[in-house]
Every structure is written in C-alpha cells, then in structure tokens.
C-alpha cells in the first residue's frame, strides 16, 4: 500500500532516524499508536502529526504486512515500511487531489469542496477552486487560477502563471509554482511557498514560515503570543543573504532560516 509519513526537520519520527530509499522492518508485535511502523493513507493526515509550520518534512512510503486496525483518521501501522521519496508541500497537495479524486462521487460542482478532507480542482485558465472543510485541498492548474483552502490543516496549490494560492486555516499550506504567482498563509503555523519567477510568498499569521525561488519576494509578519502584530517585513530572495528555496521565519524583526530545504 502506498501511504504518506511525516518527520521532524532531521527526518526522524519519534526518535527513529529514517532515510529515503531504505526499508524498515519491525520484528515485534504491532499495535496501532503503540508499536510498529506508522503511516497515513490520506496525505493531509500527516499534518496532524507533523504540521507544516513546525519545520516538518514528508515522504511517500510503501507499506507491507499492515494491521487491520483503524484510527479516527487514516493512520495505519505495519511491519515493513519503505521510504520511497521525500515530498514537498506542493507534492502533498497534488497527492491529496489524486487521493480524494480517485474516491470521489463526482457532481457538476466539482471545483468546490465543503466536506471534511475534500478536494477541489480547477484546470482551465482563470479558474477557481475552493476547499472549506477540515483538511481539504484545492488545486488550480490553469493560468491566472486561484486556489483557496480555508479549513484547519488545509492545503492550496496554484501551478499556472499568475496563479494565487491561499491557506487561511491553522497549520495550512499554500504553494504557487507558476511565474508571477502568489502564495499566502494567514493561519496559525501556516506555510507558504512560491517557486515561479517574480512570485511572492506571504505569511501573515502566527509563527508562519515562507520560502521562494531566487528573485522572488518574501513577506512575513511577526506576532506576539496574543497574536498582535509586532512587525511586518519584506525582503527579496537574492541567493546570498536570503537563500533560495529555504524556509524563513521572522524573529526579532529579522528573517531567520527556519529549517533545511525540503
């Protein structure tokens, strides 16, 4: 079974070190949430355990000898687990779209999802996709498209030129990969990534982090523990002082590198 797993910034899960390309075997009895190798079937469920705003990393995994036990989400436990590939936030969004769409009962309003863990996709130019439920995912692939995820731990991806991706729920993730795109995260511990030319990554919520390609711009707000804004700053990714494709947070009014490139 193909699944998804979260890790800390050092690619560890509960003090166990993992590595891409390796297979791991648990030689004792397995029990969900207690013993064995754990993963999630639904890509966005990894945000439950390793939120995007906490310097987390993610991977696609292949599980074997899986217990029949089920949890409240899609967490599973197995004896054998192979780490296939590390995934970016955009890859998590893409995997979510595929996961949900493969199981979807399609209607004419397929570009809007309101249920929990739903997915919405808009593929034409100037299209709009909105996911408002808990752990929903929205994807806009056409030029000048807009994707919005407003639920808790949602994910939004805009891949066309001049696209906009917005994640407003807590621990949400937004990714804009087209040229002149904009990715915005405003919820608690959100993350925004912009990799296209002349794009902007914006994090205005509490403990947000952002990253972008060289030549793009970062916008970050710093808030105190009562969520009051202390500072808002903008800086260009020059590849020297501010590295490309590297997560940053705003601390004491300064852009600080938040984690290794994922």
**7 pLDDT more than 70:** yes
pTM here? 0.71
Same domain, 142 and 238: yes
Q: What is the residue range of 172's domain?
A: 108-257
Does residue 96 sit within a domain?
no
Q: Are residues 157 and 73 in the same domain?
A: no
Query: What confidence tens digit (pLDDT) does each residue in 231-255 have?
Result: 999 999 999 999 999 999 999 999 9
Q: Do residues 77 and 182 share a domain?
A: no
- For residue 262, being part of any structural domain is answered with no
Distances in Å between the alpha carbon of 26 and those of 10, 142, 250? 21, 44, 41
- Do both 159 and 30 map to the same domain? no
Same-domain check for residues 152 and 74: no
| φ and ψ at residue 49, rounded to 5 degrees | -105, -30
pLDDT digits (tens, 9 = 90+) for 180-219: 999 998 988 888 999 999 999 999 999 999 999 999 999 9
Reported as a single tens digit per residue, the pLDDT across 150-184 is 878 778 888 899 999 998 888 788 889 999 999 99
pLDDT band at 55 (very low <50, low <70, confident <90, very high): confident
Same domain, 171 and 81: no
Number of domains in the chain: 2
Residues 133 and 238 both lie in one domain: yes
Instruction: Indicate whether 106 pLDDT > 60.
Output: no
Q: Which of 216, 250, 213, 260 is nearest to 236 (CA)?
A: 216
| % of residues, the chain, pLDDT over 70 | 91
Q: Is residue 103 helix, strand or coil? A: helix
> Do 143 and 24 fall within a single domain?
no
> Would you say residue 102 lies in a domain?
no
* Alpha-carbon gap, residue 162 to 176, rounded angstroms: 9
Does 70 map to a domain? yes
Query: Given a cut of 60, is residue 109 above it in pLDDT?
Result: no
Tell me: do 120 and 184 sit in the same domain: yes
């Amino acid at each position: 079974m193909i699944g998804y797993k979260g890790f800390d910034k050092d690619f560890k899960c509960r003090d166990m070190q993992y590595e891409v390309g390796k297979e791991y075997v648990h030689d004792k009895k397995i029990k969900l949430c207690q013993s064995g190798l754990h993963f999630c079937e639904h890509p966005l469920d990894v945000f439950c355990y390793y939120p995007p705003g906490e310097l987390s990393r993610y991977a696609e995994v292949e599980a074997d000898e899986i217990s029949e036990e089920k949890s409240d989400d899609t967490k599973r436990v197995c004896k054998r687990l192979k780490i296939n590939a590390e995934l970016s936030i955009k890859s998590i969004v893409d995997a979510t779209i595929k996961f949900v769409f493969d199981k979807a009962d399609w209607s004419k309003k397929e570009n809007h999802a309101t249920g929990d863990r739903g997915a919405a996709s808009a593929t034409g130019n100037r299209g709009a996709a909105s996911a408002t439920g808990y752990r929903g995912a929205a994807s806009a692939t056409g030029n000048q498209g807009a994707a919005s995820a407003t639920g808790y731990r949602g994910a939004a991806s805009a891949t066309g030129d001049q696209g906009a991706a917005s994640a407003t729920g807590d621990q949400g993730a937004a990714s804009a990969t087209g040229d002149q795109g904009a990715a915005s995260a405003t919820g608690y511990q959100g993350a925004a990534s912009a990799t296209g030319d002349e794009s902007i990554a914006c994090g205005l919520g509490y403990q947000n982090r952002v990253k972008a390609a060289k030549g793009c711009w970062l916008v970050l707000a710093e808030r105190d523990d009562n969520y009051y804004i202390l500072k808002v700053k903008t800086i260009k990714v020059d590849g020297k002082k501010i590295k490309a494709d590297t997560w940053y947070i705003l601390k004491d009014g300064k852009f600080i590198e938040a984690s290794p490139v994922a």
